[in-house]
Amino acid sequence: MTQADNADKKAGWLVVLGDKGGKCYKTQRHFFVKGGKWSAPFPVVVYVSTEEEANDVLSFEPAIRLMMRAEGLQEKVRLAMSLPGWDTVLGEYNDGMYPVVHGQRCGIYTQYNDAVESVNFTERPIWRKVAPFGRALAYMITKGESEKSTNKDWQDLLESLSQVRVSSPVQRAASQAPSPAPVPVPTPTPPPALSAPPTTPKKLQPGSVRWSAAEQDYVFSAPTSRSPAPTPATSQAVPAADIFEDATFNEYVFPPMHQAVNMGPGFVYQHVRTLRGIKSTHSAPVADRLATPSCGPAADIYLQALGYDVEAKLTVARELQAAVEMGDFVRKICSYGLPALEAKYIWYLYESDGPQTYWSYTHIM
């Protein structure tokens, strides 16, 4: 039996977090990770005993994708110790896990003896007992710096992240009163048969979608330009019914590989926003399907429909979780640039229809 086979036999299950392309998966084959002070933050290997524990670690995959995307080591640590699952993954080992940054086999161990075996015969190994899971992960990606008592910056950050938070308004409401009735959604009124054009759902720029009295329908026409006048055959408007049958406009969420219809200049499909306002405007979908912590279905849909980017969604979710009342949330989130009125509405959605799952999914795009 080879040395690799022995390693596989001893490993039980391995979970690789943040491999090439952000992949996360479980395996029973040995996976080598270069450790040491100057190695890359990812991938991180977690050594567990059972497949059930491996599946538990894999539930943290959405957080890993966000961490790999984050800029700066400090933000990665902040996410590791705040995203859903940071203190519940491998919860039975919350009395201590054993991250090994520099040893024979680097990774996070749940068993003390396995960690000791990994650092045997290693000169100046880097490892220690850390809990919970998110903090052990922070130790790995900072190469042990996060737990050094002499590093005041890291200690201040860990202290702020480790503070016990007050239960969310949704949790308090659930324990004190029945769930509020869902907000009724008005049924759209069909346009009259032969009358003035109905009000459009959103104002578009001239020369895109307009009401045709002759056809009693919305039609699309290209924006005007300084080019020579088109012939009558090419100037005919295309009925909107033919255009908007495409999945881009007819489905809340269309397949990832779908080739979205681009209506060209003058037509706005969506804005992309930060908390300070519109960052860019697009005539075709540019949806980001990366999962973020859920703020509740209603608030998730709102943030998606208005085109808020991943960083904005993370900030809103974090401040909603930390706030104890509406004024507290509005005060904190406004410091990032979000208008106060919009912040109040997000809080209203959060209280009316709070998180039902840890992670949001794409409701609309």
**Cα radius of gyration rounded to whole Å, the chain:** 26
Largest Cα span, the chain: 87
Q: For the residues of 56-87, what is the DSSP string, one character each?
A: HHHTTHHHHHHHHHSSSHHHHHHHHTTSTTTT
Beta carbons within 8 Å of 342's beta carbon, 6+ residues apart: none
Beta carbons within 8 Å of 116's beta carbon, 6+ residues apart: none
Q: What one-letter code names the amino acid at 71?
A: E
Asked if residues 132 and 87 have their Cβ atoms less than 8 Å apart, the reply is: yes
- The verdict on residue 247 lying in a domain is no
Containing structural domain, residue 124: 3-162
Distance (Å, whole) CA 68 – CA 42: 8
Per-block mean pLDDT, blocks of 10 residues, the chain (365 long): 48 89 91 87 95 96 93 90 92 94 94 94 93 94 87 73 49 46 46 42 44 54 48 46 76 78 79 93 83 94 94 95 94 96 97 90 87
- The verdict on residue 244 lying in a domain is no
- The verdict on residue 290 lying in a domain is yes
Among left, alpha and beta (phi > 0; psi -120 to 50; other), residue 216 is: left
**At which of 162, 186, 206 does a domain end?**
162
- The verdict on residue 339 lying in a domain is yes
Write down the residue that tokens 């004024």 correspond to.
327
Residues 14 and 157 in one domain: yes
Extract the runs of DSSP E, i.e. beta strands, from 134-200: none
Q: What is the reported pLDDT for 9?
A: 47
Structure-token pair, residue 101: 């940054």
Distance (Å, whole) CA 89 – CA 87: 6
- The verdict on residue 221 lying in a domain is no
**At which of 162, 184, 218 does a domain end?**
162
Can you give the pTM of this predicted structure? Answer: 0.70
3-state secondary structure (DSSP) of residue 325: coil
**At which of 162, 177, 199 does a domain end?**
162
Give the burial class of 214: count Cβ atoms within 10 A of its Cβ; 0-12 exposed, 13-18 middle, 19 or more buried.
exposed
Asked if residues 111 and 129 have their Cβ atoms less than 8 Å apart, the reply is: no
Residue 130, strand partner residues: 97
Q: What is the reported pLDDT for 54?
A: 96
- The verdict on residue 98 lying in a domain is yes
